[in-house]
Amino acid sequence: MRSAYEYKRVLNVNCKAFSTTHLKDFDIRMVEKWRLKLLAGGRTANTVNRIYTNFRASLSKVEEWGLIDEHPLRKMRPIKTPQKTIVRYLSSDEEARLRAAIDQREVLKRTERQSANKWRENRGYNLYPCSEDLAFVDHLKPMIILSMNTGMRRGEVFKLTWQNVSFDRRQLTVSGQTSKSGKIRHIPLNTEALETLEKWKRQNSNSAPFVFSNKDGMPFDNVKKGWAKILKTAEIEGFRWHDLRHHFASRLVMAGVNLNTVREPTRAFKLCHDFAVCALVSGS
């Protein structure tokens, strides 16, 4: 769930065309021209619909507050989009290449850090934190490993807090505030996911509540650049971060887990309290 600040930021960026428009001057034709302009600018229909939904919701709140008599977009519908979508998941070879690309990035980043510190040391500058003894050079590898082994959405990974990670019970909780459905989910952690979080916790002993936080203690909200480079190195095309969720589900199905169980993680946890599902997926 976005905060009020995040909603305001999104509206300011995507609805800037209406910044000088009076509330009572909005009409369907004006908004339709705006949507078409977004499409012409390269936005997909799904993206435009998400932006439009946020904008429409803001006008609904304005109507609720009594600042306008009637919602100007009440009869306006979202853009029609194709119903059929391609479910993408990784082949065994692609997963191996993805993991190799992640590890290759780690080596490259460590080498770059060592080179930079030598340069800084020779000039008497403060050194960057040493990464040789750390499990990870930054947040990207543990984020990907966690998504691959839990089926969590990217936004859920961003907003995950340490309070919702139970190492003793080997599970994490996706709160209703961050889940797409608004429902709480309890997800069992297999060996790889558990060890990843344990190592990440040890190298991040700060007091930030979020599992993956920036230097200011706030959650990340964008990993597109790093993710794109990893996919390019792995020579994997047409694969989004969200597809890690599909990949996780496909591994469960191939391991013999019932589809209804896959669709409901909470049920999966109850049925597999001994983490048999996770052991099947990871081989641990």
Could you report the per-residue pLDDT of 160-191, keeping only the tens digit for each?
Answer: 999 999 999 999 999 877 766 677 889 999 99
Mean pLDDT of the chain: 84
pLDDT at 266 over 50: no
Q: Which of 5-9, 154-158, 263-267, 280-284 has the highest mean pLDDT?
A: 154-158
Classify domain 92-282 by CATH architecture.
Answer: Orthogonal Bundle (1.10)
Strand extents, DSSP E, the chain: 165-166, 171-174, 185-188
- This prediction has a pTM of 0.66
Domain residue ranges of the chain, discontinuous segments joined by + = 4-64, 92-282
* 73, 23 contact by CB (below 8 A): no
Residue 134, classified by CB atoms within 10 Å of its CB into exposed (0-12), middle (13-18) or buried (19+), is middle
User: What sign results for the dihedral spanned by CA atoms 54, 60, 63, 69?
Assistant: positive
pLDDT at 201 over 80: yes
The predicted pLDDT at position 104 comes to 97
Percent of the chain with pLDDT over 90: 40
CA–CA distances in Å: residue 284 to residues 141, 184, 195, 245, 277:
20, 26, 12, 20, 10
